[in-house]
Amino acid sequence: MEKVYLDSAATTQLRPEVISRMQEALTQCYGNPSSTHSFGRSAKTAIEKTRKTIAKYLNAHPSEIIFTSGGTEADNMILRCAVRDLEVTTLITSKIEHHAVLHTAEALEKEYGVNLLYVDLDEFGNPDLGHLKSLLQRDNTKKLVSLMHVNNEIGNIVNINAIGDLCEEHRALFHSDSVQSIGHFAWDVQKTKVHFLTAAAHKFHGPKGIGFAFIKRNVGLRPLLVGGAQERGFRAGTEPFHNIVGLETAFVLAYDKLEEEMAYVTELKRYFIEKISKEIPGVAFNGLSGEMVKGTYTLVNVRLPFDAEKAMMLLFHLDLKGIACSKGSACQSGSDIGSHVLSQILSEEEMEKPSLRFSFSKFNTKEELDYVIGVLKDFGSH
């Protein structure tokens, strides 16, 4: 049986270089980074080197990079601390954000009485910047805008610079969940007027359980996790040294090979769109995932012209054929609840058709895409 992995938006295959670096760290550099002996010092030095490396690629200052367990922790930390420490009383987001943002915002509304506002979306799922401006102008409360750069389900790329300009104009803080973006797109935090970003290594061929937050200098956040003085006093807990150096290796390779790998994966997406459109008439693309410029090159979200009975068996059938993909974000698979993202942009009739997210990486081939489309075509014809 063929095995085809097309779920890289959920998590990616580790690069061999990352595995080698982590094995070296696990076997040779096992000292606690907070210890003063040579074992600890060597681990601490490598952690600080990683921090400087990330900062260099993002055009940030090393003190602005805080290691976390991943995107969810970073999103929670930023939103919670902004409300607790920065007198934010109005949160502005959208209804198609990742649940790490949405559920945190809802919790803050209950716990702190934060005024939670949602920016309107167009038919494709893009935030209405005119409506965002009106929300920012509504009153004089301290505001935080949280809008993701690249949507994890439909791949829309928001106009991050325009949003940053609006936030600056209205003295609002700007947080962007950039988990699907960092490692896949170039960033310059000096040019983009953003106060907070979040990243997860496992989205760009690094290990799970490690990520980072970019927190602009002098913004005034205090620690969410207290205890030891790790992460310059901002996040307590012994650093997972092996994961941090794995993140560094994956991060450097992602950016050093960005142009080459972006071209390769873009061609895979173009080929997939062209072939599935030809082989399965009536297929549609959700959001801007079928776009080559306005949507990320890393994924497509297809709506297939199959009836409801067939839809129930589709993912099971694909799994039997060795094909890994997703019907929504991996964080909600296994639940009977449909995609909260698609429900915002599709009609009830469109929601009855099966939608699948196929996400690509440097490890995929056109032959794999041929196999997947063949399986889908065969399934639809029976």
pLDDT recorded at residue 29: 85
CB 248, CB 254: distance < 8 Å? no
pLDDT in tens, 143-180: 999 999 999 999 999 999 999 999 999 999 999 999 99
In this structure, the chain runs to a length of 382
The pLDDT score that the predictor gives to residue 333 is 47
Distance separating alpha carbons of residues 332 and 9, to the nearest angstrom: 13
- Which phi and psi (to 5°) does residue 235 adopt? -145, 110
Summarised one tens digit per residue, pLDDT across range 27-83 is 998 899 999 999 999 999 999 999 999 999 999 999 999 999 999 999 999 999 999
**Amino acid identity for residue 139 in this structure:** D
Q: What pLDDT score does 329 carry?
A: 47
Mean pLDDT, the chain, rounded, equals 94
Assign 367 a pLDDT band (cuts: 50, 70, 90). very high
Least confident of 129-143, 169-183, 215-229: 215-229
Lowest mean pLDDT among 19-23, 228-232, 300-304: 228-232
- Within 10 angstroms of residue 319's Cβ, the number of other Cβ atoms is 11
Question: 3-state class of 64 per DSSP?
Answer: helix
On the CB side of 365, CA atoms within 13 Å amount to 6
The reported pLDDT for the residue numbered 42 is 93
Report how far residue 181's alpha carbon sits from residue 267's, in angstroms, rounded to the nearest whole number: 18
pTM above 0.75, yes or no: yes
- A 10 A CB-CB count for 161 gives 12
Flag the least confident range among 88-102, 120-134, 215-229.
215-229
Mean pLDDT of 187-208: 97
What pLDDT shows up at residue 337?
66
DSSP bridge pairs for 301: 357
The C-alpha atoms of residue 209 and residue 373 are separated, in whole angstroms, by 33
328 — pLDDT class (breaks 50, 70, 90): low
Q: Is the pLDDT of residue 213 over 90?
A: yes
Q: Which amino acid is at 247?
A: L
Report, as residue numbers or ranges, the catalytic residues.
331
DSSP 8-state symbol, 295 = B
- For residue 327, give the amino acid letter: K
- Residue 150: strand, helix, or coil: strand
Parallel/antiparallel/unpaired status of strands 284-285 and 299-303: antiparallel
380 band by pLDDT with thresholds 50, 70 and 90: confident
Enumerate long-range contacts of 319-322, CB under 8 Å, 24 or more apart: 321/1, 321/2, 321/375, 322/1, 322/2, 322/3, 322/4
| CATH code, 16-256 | 3.40.640.10
Is residue 58 within 8 Å of 189, Cβ to Cβ? yes
User: Residue range 208-212: average pLDDT?
Assistant: 98
pLDDT, tens digit, for every residue of 335-362?
A: 456 899 999 999 999 998 999 999 999 9
Does domain 4-12+258-381 bear CATH number 3.50.30.30? no
% of the chain surpassing 90 pLDDT: 88
- Maximal C-alpha separation, the chain: 67
Domain range annotation of the chain? 4-12+258-381, 16-256
